[in-house]
């Protein structure tokens, strides 16, 4: 029996295709560091994001394919990731080590944008990515309550700010500086200055994703962030009724005008399921979001129900993705995180890597 070769291992892995890139993981260069020791084969599969939802499937297929080769006694598959950064000519000082900045926006308030942003950030972090969450809503900050954080951040003598931490995330919000009950009564130029300070002077350090909980609407605050941050993409959150979708369309067009890719729509409050009968009720109607997405040429990435547990989790300071990880809505947020990470990876794939970090998962036999 002839010993197995590296070429044989690569040929066995070649039929495994990345569903987004539509190419073999071997041709994409994902297979790294093939080692063969008397029938024991080990190699790594390096993905473009730690939030890749098919990484477990890749490991399973790779193990099966190589184990079937003659002369192979054991297979060890190490799953890693190198997050590729978006390409921007210039970045604010504080974002120098941030690979991808993602905006979560809405055309109006009250549609669940902050709930989506916080749970998305948590799910990205749970996947193994380094994640920050910046609350850009100056007049109605939500992050302090949703993340159960109330202390003030540390500031250096030269006015550099260190973000706070919770649930594996780095956090910043105007709410950390003003307190829970203090109103923010500022005019446009002051808001503009604060947003620039949060982007330039907060010491975010090395992050794979910085999620921006955007101000609602398309006013000065939202436009300042959109024009100042090196955005890799944006999500638009809306509820199904026409009034919210009209404003969502305005928000989407704002990003398009400044050449920020819109990754898709998130429909919140899509239905309510009666706990006693299981009957679903579309309280705000149905079908309008589909027509809006089709007219604008963007996908619907996720639909989320009206669920009291989500509200309770937010009010208690622990996002539903952590408070009830096995719930249907938590799984939906996890799928959304995977879709967002893959879409950003695809957008970045044509540009050379700007920054990268190796992520390693603990591999179970």
Are residues 47 and 142 both part of a single domain? Answer: no
Q: What DSSP designation does 93 have?
A: G
| Average pLDDT by stretches of 10, the chain with 365 residues | 84 92 91 92 91 87 94 92 72 86 86 93 94 88 90 84 94 80 57 78 93 82 81 90 81 85 91 84 82 88 88 87 91 93 86 45 38
Each residue of 315-361: pLDDT tens digit? 889 999 999 999 889 999 999 999 999 999 888 876 544 444 444 44
Are residues 128 and 235 both part of a single domain? Answer: yes
Instruction: Say what percent of the chain tops pLDDT 70.
Output: 89
Q: Quick one: pLDDT at residue 181?
A: 57
Are residues 38 and 124 both part of a single domain? Answer: no
Are residues 100 and 243 both part of a single domain? Answer: yes
Are residues 327 and 196 both part of a single domain? Answer: yes
- Tell which residue, 76, 80, 79, 98, has the closest CA to residue 88: 98
| Residue 239 belongs to some domain of the structure | yes
Q: Determine the 3-state secondary structure of 104 from DSSP.
A: strand
Are residues 63 and 128 both part of a single domain? Answer: no
Q: Quick one: pLDDT at residue 361?
A: 42
Dihedral angle over CA of 235, 237, 242, 248, nearest 10: -40
* Beta-bridge mates of residue 234: 103, 262
Beta strands in 64-192 (DSSP E): 74-82, 98-105, 131-135, 164-166, 169-173
| Residue 87 belongs to some domain of the structure | no
CATH number of the domain where residue 147 is located: 3.40.50.300
Are residues 231 and 282 both part of a single domain? Answer: yes
Q: Quick one: pLDDT at residue 120?
A: 96
Are residues 68 and 108 both part of a single domain? Answer: no
| Residue 168 belongs to some domain of the structure | yes
Task: Burial-class residue 297 by CB neighbours within 10 Å (0-12, 13-18, 19+).
Answer: exposed
Task: Work out how many domains the chain is built from and give that number.
Answer: 2
- Tell which residue, 175, 240, 4, 197, has the closest CA to residue 95: 197
Are residues 329 and 246 both part of a single domain? Answer: yes
Are residues 179 and 245 both part of a single domain? Answer: yes
Are residues 103 and 75 both part of a single domain? Answer: no
Q: Quick one: pLDDT at residue 333?
A: 94
| Residue 360 belongs to some domain of the structure | no
| Residue 365 belongs to some domain of the structure | no
| Residue 287 belongs to some domain of the structure | yes
Are residues 13 and 72 both part of a single domain? Answer: yes
The residue segments making up the domain with residue 126 are 93-348
CATH number of the domain where residue 27 is located: 3.30.300.130
């Amino acid at each position: 029996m002839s010993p197995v070769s590296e070429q044989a291992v690569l040929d066995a892995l070649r039929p495994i295709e990345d569903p987004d890139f539509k190419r073999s993981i071997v041709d994409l260069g994902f297979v790294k560091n093939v080692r063969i020791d008397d029938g024991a084969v080990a190699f790594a599969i390096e993905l473009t994001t730690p939030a890749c939802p098919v990484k477990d499937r890749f490991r399973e297929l790779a193990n099966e394919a190589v184990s079937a080769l003659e002369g192979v006694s054991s297979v060890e598959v190490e799953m890693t990731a190198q997050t590729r950064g978006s390409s921007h000519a210039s970045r604010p000082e504080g974002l120098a080590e941030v690979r991808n900045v993602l905006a979560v926006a809405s055309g109006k308030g009250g549609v669940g944008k902050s709930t989506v942003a916080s749970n998305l950030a948590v799910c990205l972090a749970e996947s193994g990515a380094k994640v920050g969450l910046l609350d850009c809503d100056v007049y109605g900050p939500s992050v302090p309550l949703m993340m159960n954080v109330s202390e003030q951040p540390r500031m250096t003598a030269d006015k550099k700010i260190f973000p706070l931490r919770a649930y594996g995330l780095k956090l910043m919000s105007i709410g950390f500086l003003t307190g829970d009950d203090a109103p923010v009564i500022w005019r446009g130029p002051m808001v503009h200055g604060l947003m620039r300070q949060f982007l330039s002077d907060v010491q975010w350090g090395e992050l794979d994703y910085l999620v921006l909980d955007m101000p609602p609407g398309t006013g000065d605050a939202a436009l300042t962030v959109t024009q100042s941050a090196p955005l890799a993409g944006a999500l638009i959150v809306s509820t199904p009724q026409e009034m919210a979708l009209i404003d969502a369309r305005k928000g989407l067009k704002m990003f398009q005008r400044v050449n920020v890719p819109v990754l898709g729509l998130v429909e919140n409050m899509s239905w309510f399921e009666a706990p006693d009968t299981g009957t679903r009720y579309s309280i705000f109607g149905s079908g309008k979001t589909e027509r809006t997405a089709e007219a604008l040429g963007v996908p619907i990435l996720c639909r989320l129900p009206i669920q009291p547990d989500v509200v309770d989790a937010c009010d208690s300071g622990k996002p539903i993705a952590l408070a009830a990880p096995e719930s249907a809505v938590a799984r939906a947020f996890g799928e959304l995180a995977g879709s967002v990470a893959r879409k950003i990876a695809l957008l970045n794939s044509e540009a050379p890597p700007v920054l990268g970090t190796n992520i390693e998962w603990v591999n179970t036999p």
